Amino acid sequence: MKLQIKNSLILTVNPQNEVLENADIAIENGCLLAVGKVPENFEADKVIDATDQIAMPGLVNAHTHIPMSLFRNYADDLPFWPWLLEKIKPAEDHLSAEHVYWGAKLGILELIQSGVTCFSDMYFYMGEAAKVVEESGIKACLSGVLLEVSDLGPTFMKAAVDFHDSWHGKAGGRIKVFFGPHSMYLCGPEYLRETTEEALKRKTRIHIHLSESRQEVADSLEKYGKSPVQHLADLGLFECPTAAAHCVHLSVEDIELLRKHKVSVLNNPTSNLKLANGFAPVEELLKKGVNVALGTDGSASNNNVNLFEEMHLAALVNKAINDNTESVPAQQVLRMATINGAKALGLEKEIGSLEVGKRADLILLDANKPHYFPRHNPVSSIAYSAQAADVSTVLVNGKVLMENYEVKTIDVEETMREGERMAFDLVSRAKES
């Protein structure tokens, strides 16, 4: 199908960060054929008039737990460890495939409506999430979670291997499968070595939580005599391309190790603030050349998957922490939410910017709203003014997933209804146990 988007303001997020006014986009066979000026002989099957709209790359949510939409507003205002061990884990002990399917569907619906075209996830029953990805048309990098608890380590490992071998490259290539060891505190050294071997054997990537809390760092120093980052580096885990979520509590030596091993850091501003875990040294990481992307974490600790909020917070909090108004400017957070996220997932040659030859993963924002006026700086408007609710149209591989706010691939009413039913069923089971 040939598609043309006309009369838009385009934020390319290309290496030059070009902004093109009153420009057009041509899409053919799911790829960007032209960005800015369309060939005169291009005959589109469908034309979208994007007057008063901003066209930009689809957002990349580089770290989340999408099925946890079922826990939205369930365990709020609690310290991190009671939140995790006394509320979330007891409920997760009763998860079924059906819970995860509808939780994933509810979360993916929210992703599409808020302009995310690709996400990276780690959770249980990931085959169910993969089904929803296939049905919905979104892109995803999925990791079956690996835990070495209650002698279930081998069971989780087998499931992760089987999941990779069954789903990697499926849905027309929209699904990539990584390995997801939860953390160094829930996976022992030998288990992490085994995980690295399995990932390297399959030429895939690792997605892990790292240095999220002060307690994690203190426990690692006590148990291993080194920080979590140093521990993973010494185990050889970083020999595999790695994306590490959080990285809040880092030493100078830790940052150098992340840079040396080309580990991507997945910054989750809302979750880190809400759970009082602190805030990652984003400016220092960027200065040292570490790739920093953005994620939302799960809706149990956020309570949404709105990447516009994460951009806004990343820009503001870093300025306050560093006492520097120029810290992490608007253009930087836009890149963190797009091309940096793509790089963290190994997809920067395919998505993350609007450049000829890349996949046509893009969104349109309705800028004909008061909070976009006056139109001094469209990049600033994304970081400081835009709302997820402004996303009007979403394309993945040139396929329209949402147009004029109408989702084409998911039944909205059914998904909200069944998602709520599954959530209350899960919580009631936890209370009865």
What is the tens place of the pLDDT at every residue in 29-71?
A: 999 999 999 999 999 999 999 999 999 999 999 999 999 999 9
**How far is 433 from 138, CA to CA, in rounded Å?**
36
For the chain, domains (ranges, CATH) are: 2-58+353-407 (2.30.40.10), 59-344 (3.20.20.140)
Question: Which amino acid makes up residue 252?
Answer: V
Contact 235, 196 (CB under 8 A): yes
Which structure tokens are listed for 111? Answer: 């992703």
Confidence of residue 85 (pLDDT cuts 50, 70, 90): confident
Grouping H, G, I as helix, E, B as strand and the rest as coil, residue 357 is coil
Q: What is the DSSP string of 93-148?
A: TT--HHHHHHHHHHHHHHHHHTTEEEEEEEESSHHHHHHHHHHH--EEEEEEEE--
> H helices then E strands: how many in the chain?
16, 17
19 neighbors 10 (Cβ within 8 angstroms): yes
Residue 432 pLDDT class (50, 70, 90 cuts):
confident
**pLDDT for 32:** 98
Q: Is the pLDDT confidence value at 84 over 90?
A: no
Q: Mean pLDDT, to the nearest integer, of 223-239?
A: 98
Tallying the residues shown for the chain, one arrives at 433
Q: In this model, does residue 218 exceed pLDDT 90? A: yes
Torsion of CA 245, 15, 60, 183, to 10 degrees: -10
Q: Is the pLDDT of residue 398 over 90?
A: yes
Confidence of residue 382 (pLDDT cuts 50, 70, 90): very high
CA-angle at 255, arms to 178 and 237, nearest 5°:
35
pLDDT above 90 for 433: no
Q: Stretch 276-297: mean pLDDT, rounded? A: 97
Residue 374 has pLDDT above 90, yes or no: yes
pLDDT tens digits, one per residue of 320-368:
999 999 999 999 999 999 999 999 999 999 999 999 999 999 999 999 9
- Per-residue pLDDT at 83: 87
| pLDDT tens digits, one per residue of 89-147 | 899 999 999 999 999 999 999 999 999 999 999 999 999 999 999 999 999 999 999 99
Q: At 384, is the pLDDT very low, low, confident or very high (cuts 50, 70, 90)? A: very high
Percent of the chain with pLDDT over 70: 100
pLDDT digits (tens, 9 = 90+) for 302-326: 999 999 999 999 999 999 999 999 9
Write down the mean pLDDT value for the chain: 97
Helical ranges in 139-298 per DSSP H: 153-167, 189-201, 214-224, 228-235, 252-260, 269-274, 282-287
Going from the C-alpha of 139 to that of each of 26, 205, 371, the distances in angstroms are 21, 16, 30
Dihedral angle, C-alpha 114, 292, 316, 375, nearest 10 °: -60
pLDDT score of 149:
86
* Token output for 3: 């598609």
Assign 269 a pLDDT band (cuts: 50, 70, 90): very high
pLDDT of 356? 98
- Please check whether residue 233 is in contact with residue 196, taking contact to mean a CB–CB distance below 8 angstroms: no
Residue 39, burial from CB neighbour count under 10 angstroms (0-12, 13-18, 19+): exposed
pLDDT tens profile 164-194: 999 999 999 999 999 999 999 999 999 999 9
**Mean pLDDT in residue range 379-384:** 98
Backbone angles phi, psi at 121, to 5 degrees: -135, 150
| pLDDT level of residue 81 (50, 70, 90 thresholds) | confident
- Tokens 């040659």 -> residue: 349
431 CB-contact burial (10 Å; exposed 0-12 / middle 13-18 / buried 19+): exposed
For 15-22, the CB contacts below 8 A with 24+ separation are: 17/331, 17/335, 17/379, 19/378, 19/379
